Amino acid sequence: RQGTVIITGASSGLGLATAKALAETGKWHIIMACRDFLKTEKAAKSVGMAKENYTIMHLDLASLESVRQFVDNFKRSGRPLDVLVCNAAVYQPTAKEPSFTADGFELSVGTNHLGHFLLSRLLLDDMKESDFPSKRLIIVGSITGMKNKKYEYVGRERTAKGQSRGLARAPRRAEWAKQLFHDRRWRFRRAKAYKDSKVCNMLTMQEFHRRYHEETGITFASLYPGCIATTGLFREHIPLFRLLFPPFQKFITKGFVSEEEAGKRLAQVVSDPSLTKSGVYWSWNKDSASFVNQLSEEASDAEKARKVWEISEKLVGLR
């Protein structure tokens, strides 16, 4: 049978390119889990995806209620779930003030991490039940998350007065665990918020692996697809940055990959029979060959992963 894969944020960039690459094989039915139907429909058409190869289902990761509704809708569809790709993300490089999710969490961590955390926890049983030969849960990571050095938090919420309160921030690594909650010195750092969310993504993938790989046989993996400097991720950046970033990545750092190439890479992590190793973080070398990359000390800290898991469970209402 065709495999069923859910891809969040399949309306543009990496998610769309991956959906396209998988649809072209004819072996996959793609559930495009997106917040904007019309945009997603247009996007699917624009890359030539055949109607029978995809279904668009509404999901707004910035609302835990929407995540729950999406899961209900998916379950009602009666489809098996073979692979889940947590790909969607927001990045607010120029925001002066934080924005919040429907549940009052800082938007980057709320969307990129907490929304996906709830989604994957609620869909894990469906994946367990699938009879697909290689079931996978993939959380898209980033190299930026690996350079996250100093401060940590995993979300914040509004107080009754409408002010925000840090749930987790610590000036030194060792104190991170102690200060996870109620640290009033927390302040919004726009690039940091995205990096934190990506560290959470990578820690979550590893914690999934430790807790569920042996029991379920599911492959849990993360990846850095390369610098896809042309995607919508940089839509909120200043125009000069958006103009110069792609050529800078192409000619100076030489880290640039096209959306098409990045989509092929993520599609490999979804379906390549040789990429079944669990608990790993994939990268690609200059010849586009995949290899298991080392995570930074912080992004592979097992104790931190456990903490992020437990706190996230509380924040999304799983305990």
Judged by CB under 6 A, the residue of 61, 71, 114, 123 near ligand NDP is 61
Give the 3-state secondary structure of residue 8: strand
* Count of residues touching ligand NDP (by CB under 6 A): 30
Choice between 94 and 159, CB closer to ligand NDP: 94
Q: Does 104 bind ligand NDP (CB under 6 A)?
A: no
Tell me the C-alpha to C-alpha distance, in Å, between residue 184 and each of 157, 168, 180, 244. Answer: 11, 9, 11, 38
- The least CB distance from residue 153 to ligand NDP, in Å, is 18
Contacts by 188-193, CB closer than 8 A, 24 or more apart: 188/95, 188/97, 188/98, 188/106, 188/164, 189/151, 190/92, 190/93, 190/94, 190/95, 190/96, 191/93, 191/144, 192/148, 192/151, 193/92, 193/98, 193/106, 193/107, 193/108, 193/109
Kindly state the tokens that stand for 249: 């990545």
Judged by CB under 6 A, the residue of 12, 92, 222, 283 near ligand NDP is 12
Q: Which residue number places its CB atom closest to ligand NDP?
A: 13
Judged by CB under 6 A, the residue of 227, 267, 305, 315 near ligand NDP is 227
Q: Does 154 bind ligand NDP (CB under 6 A)?
A: no
Of 88-96, 146-154, 271-279, 311-319, the segment contacting ligand NDP by CB under 6 A is 88-96
Q: Does 232 bind ligand NDP (CB under 6 A)?
A: yes
Of 179-187, 209-217, 219-227, 308-316, the segment contacting ligand NDP by CB under 6 A is 219-227
Q: Does 98 bind ligand NDP (CB under 6 A)?
A: no
How does DSSP assign 37-105, residue by residue? HHHHHHHHHHTT--GGGEEEEE--TT-HHHHHHHHHHHHHHT----EEEE------TT-SS--B-TTS-
- Among 91, 194, 224, 281, the active-site one is 194
- The least CB distance from residue 34 to ligand NDP, in Å, is 6
Give the separation between CA 46 and CA 254, rounded to whole angstroms: 28
Give the separation between CA 92 and CA 150, rounded to whole angstroms: 19
Judged by CB under 6 A, the residue of 4, 92, 108, 111 near ligand NDP is 111
Question: Catalytic residue at 151?
Answer: no
Q: Given the rule CB under 6 A, which residues bind ligand NDP? A: 8-9, 11-15, 34-36, 39, 59-62, 87-90, 111, 140, 142, 224-225, 227-229, 231-233
Active site residues: 194
